[in-house]
Structure formats: structure tokens, C-alpha cells
Amino acid sequence: METYGIEKLGIIGPKAVYHNLTPAQLTEAALRRGEGTLSNTGALVVTTGKYTGRSPDDKFIVDTPTIHDKIAWGKVNRPISREKFDAIRGKVAAYLQNREVFIFDGMAGADPADTQKFRVINELASQNLFIHQLLIRPTEEELANYGEPDYTILCVPGFKCDPEIDGVNSEAAIMIDYEAHMIVIAGSQYAGEIKKSVFSTMNYIMTDMNVLPMHCSANMDPVTGESAIFFGLSGTGKTTLSADPDRMLIGDDEHGWSERGIFNFEGGCYAKCIDLDEENEPEIYHAIRFGSVVENVIMDPETRELDFTDRSLTENTRVGYPVDYISNAQIPGVGGIPKVVIFLTADAFGVLPPISRLTRDAAMYHFVTGFTSKLAGTERGVKEPQPTFSTLFGEPFMPREADVYAHMLGDKIDQYGTKVYLVNTGWAGGPYGVGSRMKLKYTRAMVTAALNGEFDHVEYKHHEIFNVDVPQSCPHVPDEIMNPRDTWADKEAYDVAANKLATMFEENFATKYPNIAQHIVDAGPHAKH
């Protein structure tokens, strides 16, 4: 039996080893093994048990002298010793004895100059199908010349850690050894852990290659090749606004920005399914077909129809599918130098301008800050809007200090003259519960104007509290909504709320980034007392 070198990892005596099976073969294997069922559209539907999302408390980085000073240690990046890592890895390898093993040799990084090879070894056929669709799938020629992988991922959800013996926090452990180029995922069946481990790895290694790694979506003009980048946390409209029928979609989640342009790290999409409907998100809706993997969506056992409104397992229902299931996908996922960067925020306080232009330093400030807000009522105990700050719009996956990535962004803005805008997709006329959500058609019009360069020659007004420049007009948008204070009936109440949010920005920045240069601090919001 061909073992494809897995014995080097200590995996001895597997029952069977399957290498680079097709989606059809992997689907068949998953059904044979009882890992899932088929929906009425042919998608593989699985449940992931106890873990229906990422497990941030169970993520570790192996702490060695060569990488110690390169990592932003803390709540996000927790250290684990090489000894503990090797001990768990050895147990995982032993666990795979006399079991079926599925191997996928894939790649991350659509630009050949920066491509990294990832070998993913799975216990589950369904997870191997997932990562087959999410990473870049090599051609036959690339597979023939694949050689040794740059990184190996060992994903074994059936192995449960013992926290007391193994020195981890629960039965699950997601561990990255940057020095040994090895990742071990144990105890969690949530497939997103595999994808995010690839991303966390790329975010570490790309910076040494002068590539800025970004948690963002990206699209491009099909004629000029000029690209645009969209940063935003959940609920800000990142996926919706980047899915523009007049532009090609480069990718929806993870990209690098090199001297040649931008490129997708992935070959697939991992979309949320909660409340999915055909009218609002037709591309995602129709991507749920044979070859896709659907996680934790409730299905009628008779009709095999999916109920996207059912939250009984989790709010975080998902589907993984190859990017070429999207009709306007750019294949391969590469585009030109970004002409525009857009930071999206859903401000539930109702005080940020619907669009504003950022200076280089302000762009670095907002990149580091990664602001949006939770809505009252979305979580138990949330009575009023609460700010959410996620460093670099992807804090859980950024191993290095924030200023490393921020300065790379600043340098690229300088080098290429890229325009940067902050777009508020949240509230106007008052906070959540009083004001109203910004109409999507107005936001789309503002984004289109930014992409087309229509804000290059309009009048601007400086917002003193938020320290941004606000365009006073935009095609197809009423002038009266451009300045948020004008939309509030009570102007003094606006000033109080704006100052309150600005103070939250200041306090967050001072607490989390005490060592970032003063000129970046000065470019952020400043409350008026």
C-alpha cells in the first residue's frame, strides 16, 4: 500500500491511505462512512458536534527561540512548548493506526511567486473534501512536480486531548509549529479550523516575503484589472458589497498584496448560511450543490431541503465551495495593484459618516483598530450598541505585532497612491432603535463612486471629532445624508454620542497599542470635551 510518506510523521499501519481523491470520490467516501447526507441539490450536509465554530481558547503557537520575538503573545496567540506539541502529535499519529487516512496536496496563494504548498492529512473524508474545495487545487502537472509540502496539517477530530496530561485547555487543540512547518488540529470537527490555520500560517510567512496578508474580500475591474479591497467584520456587508455583478470577484476572505498586485490565498469560499435566501444572495444560494460541504444547517429528512432559518445547532451555519461556483469569479485569483481600499463598519451608534476619506496615517489607525459595533438585542445582556474592535479586521489569525502589518499597509499606500475610504453601513439619524440603517442602494452608490474616482473632485468637509474628510456629494445619494450630524433631530445628542464613541476609540487604542507611533495615534478620532 502506497503511504505517501506519512510514516515519517509517525503514522504507522493505517487501514487505507487515499491520496488526492476527486470531490465525487470524497463525497462517496463520506456517505459510506456515515459522515453526512446529501441535500436535494447534491451538497454534502454534515454536523460538527460540540464545536460549531472556532475555539479561540484552544489555539496555540509552539514557542521556540527562533520565533519567540516575532509573535504578539497574549490571549490570541498562546504559547505551547515543543515538548507538549510533540507529545500530542505522537498520540495523534498513533490514533490513526488501523484507520482510513485521506490526504490532499493543495496550495495557498494564487500568485505563483508566493505560492505555499500545504499537505492536509484528514481522518474524515468530509473534511478532506472541504479543504480540497477551499484551497487552490493543483493541476495534474503541478501534482506531478509537487515534491515535499511547505507545511503539513494533521487534522484528527476523533482524538480528544486530556487537558491535565497534555497541558492544553480542553479536549480540542489547534497548534501551529512555525519552525517545524507542522500544524496539528485535534478534538474539533469544525472544518473552519483547517482553513484558519492555513490563514494564520500565511499571515506569518508572507510578511517575510514583502507581501501584506489581509483578512478581506477583493474584486477587480474586468477591463483595467485594477482591484479593490474590502475589510470588514461580520455584519458590515463585506461579502455583499464585494459581490458586484460589474466586477470580477478575486476572493471573499483572505488575500496577499505584493509588488505585482493582489492575490487570493484560497481557491474556495466559506460562506455563512443563516437566513440565506435566493433573492439577496443568489450566488451563494446556487453554490450549494454537489461538491459543496454544508455545516450544521438543518435539513428535512424526507425532502432533503435545507432550512436556512433554523438556528437550533448554531448561528454559525456554513457552506464551503470552490470559487469557480461563482459565475463572475476571477480564475486564477489574481488582480492588479489595489486602486481603492474600503474599510467597512456597521456603526450602531449612528454617528460615523456614511463615507469618509482617510489619510495614510488614518488608514493605518483604522486598519489596526478594526471597528464595528454589536447591536442591542443580538446578545444576552446587550442593552445598547457596544463597540467591537478586532485588530486588523482579523485579530484571531494575526500572529505578529499589529504595527508590522500597519506599516506594510502605509508603505503600500505611499508607493501606489491607493485611496482609502471608511464606509459606515450602520445607522444614521440616531442610534440603533432610533435612527435607521443606511440603505444598501446608497452604500453601493458610494462604493461605486469611490471605485470610479468620483470623489477625487468633490468638496470635502473635515469632521473634527472623527478626524476624517467627508465628501459633500455623491451621485445617486441625497446630499443631506452625507453629514451624519445633519440627520439627527437633536444635534446636541449627536455631539454627545459622537464624543462617546471617539472616547471608546481612544481608550481602546491606548490600551491595546501603547507602543504605536504618535503620528498614527494623532490620525485617529479625538473626543471634544
- Catalytic residue at 196? yes
SS3 string of 119-162? EEEECCHHHHHHHHHHCECCCHHHHHCCCCCCEEEEEECCCCCC
Q: Classify residue 172 as exposed, middle or buried by CB count within 10 Å of its CB (0-12, 13-18, 19+).
A: buried
DSSP string for 18-55: EES--HHHHHHHHHHTTS-EE-TTS-EEE--TT-SS--
Active site (annotated) includes residue 181: no
- Of 476, 486, 485, 474, nearest to 421 by C-alpha is 474
Cell of 110: 494564487
Q: Does residue 150 carry a catalytic annotation?
A: no
Helix axes 491-512, 360-369, angle to 10 degrees: 80
Per the annotation, the verdict on 234 as an active-site residue is: yes
Alpha carbon distance 312, 172 (integer Å): 23
Catalytic residue among 89, 119, 196, 412: 196
78, 255, 318, 412: the catalytic one is 318
Cα-atom radius of gyration of the chain, to the nearest Å? 23
| Separation between Cα atoms, residue 12 and residue 5, nearest integer Å | 10
Identify whether 160 is a catalytic site residue: no
Q: Which of 48, 227, 236, 239 is catalytic?
A: 239
- Options 215, 360, 366, 374, the catalytic residue: 215
User: What's the rounded Cα separation, in Å, for the pair 510 and 21?
Assistant: 51
Q: C-alpha cell of 398?
A: 494575526
Alpha carbons 109 and 265: distance in angstroms, whole number:
4
Active-site residue (options: 48, 54, 347, 418): 54
> For residues 193 and 186, what is the distance between their CA atoms, to the nearest angstrom?
10
Say how many residues make up the chain.
529
Catalytic residue among 78, 119, 195, 238: 238
Residue 273: which residues within 8 A CB-CB, separation 6 or more? 284, 288, 294, 297, 306, 308, 317, 318, 319
**Phi and psi at residue 306, to the nearest 5°:** -90, 140
Question: Is residue 239 annotated as part of the catalytic site, yes or no?
Answer: yes
Q: Per-residue b/e over 87-122, b at no fewer than 16 CB within 10 Å?
A: ebbebbbebbeeebbbbbbbbbbbbeebbbbbbbbb
Nearest to 186 by CA among 47, 15, 318, 59: 59
Measured CA distances, 11 to 4, 89, 359 (Å): 11, 10, 53
Q: To which H or E segment does residue 205 belong?
A: helix 192-205
Per the residue annotation, which of 234, 309, 327, 378 is the catalytic one?
234
Give yes or no for a cis peptide into 157 (omega within 30° of 0).
no
* Residues annotated as part of the active site: 54, 196, 215, 234, 238-239, 253, 318
